[in-house]
Amino acid sequence: MKYIMTILLALLIISTAVDEDLSTTSLVRQCAYNYITCLSNSINYLGKNVEVFSQIKNKPYEKTYTKVMKNRSLIKHYVNSGESIDQIIKTYNSDIDKDIDAFREVIYKENQGIVSSDYNVQAGEYILVPSNNND
């Protein structure tokens, strides 16, 4: 019974890529890609729609947010032409070179829809930036 289930599972995984005329190595590669994509999509779905998985998925961000926002507050910043996220972060914070990725992540999450996933922002937008300045 165990062997039959193993064969059925293998056929299930392989069947998604069999419709094309592929060599064996290409078939195995395509099956692995399909399997990984399926897992990734499932994890994303669960993270968005199931409360328990959503909480687990947000734990690393909450830890990063707590670390970055220690003794800081969010302030609005008007993005001028040619400014990058890194320049804006360094304007409002000192001694953050080793934690620049954490600052980028916080800015990205706090400004979704304004800051792109590659941390670009268009001029003329207001964004929230962590600041340790008392301005």
**Residue ranges covered by each domain of the chain:** 2-49, 58-131
- Give me the residue label for tokens 């800051």: 115
- Give me the residue label for tokens 């499932």: 42
- Distance, in Å, from the CA atom of 10 to the CA atom of 21, rounded to the nearest integer, reads 18
Give DSSP secondary structure letters for 31-92: HHHHHHHHHHHHHHHHHHH-HHHHHHHHHHHHHHHHHHTTT-EEEEEEPPTT--HHHHHHHH
Residues 6+ apart with CB under 8 A from 35: 13
Residue among 27, 24, 23 at smallest CA distance from 15: 27
Q: What is the pLDDT along the chain (135 residues), one digit of tens a residue?
A: 888 888 877 777 666 666 666 677 777 787 778 888 888 888 888 888 888 888 888 899 899 999 888 888 999 999 998 888 889 988 888 877 678 899 999 999 999 889 888 888 888 999 999 998 655
Query: In 10 A of CB 25, how many CB atoms?
Result: 8
pTM of the predicted model over 0.85:
no
Token pair of 50 as six digits:
């199931």
Instruction: DSSP letter for 112, please.
Output: B
